[in-house]
Structure 1
């Protein structure tokens, strides 16, 4: 049983990593942007966190603040992000998506939904609820 579980673990890991890469590649190829995958991920995090501190972004991504600074610098230069100081503590630097950044995230989200729908359409009507329920159950401990 342990060997069988390990074999499924390897298969799942390979399929999960490949599906993630393919979805990201498809989204990047279909949106009208020169952003990289990490930059798009950063815009999504900024949108989700609603004007986070740069240090929060570094913590979430598990990188040093200097790495975030470089990425944010590029997003500022491309017009996707702005930095602003906290109203009460000017030492704190907050990051916000510009209208251009928000538009890219909106477009990427819509494209991602279509890409995932294409993949899910490969399942039969009987397989679809089983697959989604099983995946939801799989991620529930996390």
Structure 2
């Protein structure tokens, strides 16, 4: 990859890393009975506390009916709870259950273990530099949206 400009080198390297890591991440989620979309919802609920189906649909850029089916499956698995709003019974709030929180923790532990396996090839100093750079990149991407 020498001879390429830095952007091309980064892009090529990231493509290799993602190509190798993604199947492992999906395999671990499948083993734990969670899809990537379900993981996203569980993580969002962990941060938010609770939300409405319409909020999730808007954030995911899908129709509320698609989110309803997703929430149905999460509820069947005991990962989320639906509760009618006390002020407006037509509004249904979704929140993470203890079981859902535990499932989220297990998935995140597995993801961390996979990342650690790949990142173990770096020194502590390289890890620190990479952390700083990826945080800076994440901040820039967040500010763009």
Q: Report which stretch shifted further, 98-107 or 124-133.
A: 124-133
Cα deviation 1:92-120 (Å, max 9, x = unaligned): 11101222211101222222222222222
User: 1:4 Cα deviation (Å)?
Assistant: 3.2
C-alpha root-mean-square deviation of aligned residues, in Å?
2.5
Cα 1:22/1:123, change in 2 over 3 Å: farther
Could you tell me which residue of structure 1 aligns to residue 42 of structure 2?
Answer: 43
Consecutive aligned runs of 4 or more in structure 1 exceeding 6 Å deviation: none
Could you tell me which residue of structure 2 aligns to residue 96 of structure 1?
Answer: 95
Could you tell me which residue of structure 2 aligns to residue 115 of structure 1?
Answer: 114
**Residue correspondences, number:** 138
Superposition TM-score, scaled by structure 2 size: 0.78
1:134 paired with 2:130, answer: no
Superposition TM-score, scaled by structure 1 size: 0.79
Query: Separation in 2 of the partners of 1:23 and 1:132?
Result: 22
Q: Is the 8 A contact 1:27 1:115 kept in 2?
A: no
Could you tell me which residue of structure 2 aligns to residue 4 of structure 1?
Answer: 5
Query: Separation in 1 of the partners of 2:119 and 2:74?
Result: 33
Structure 2, unpaired ranges of 5+:
none
Q: Is the 8 A contact 2:28 2:107 kept in 1?
A: yes
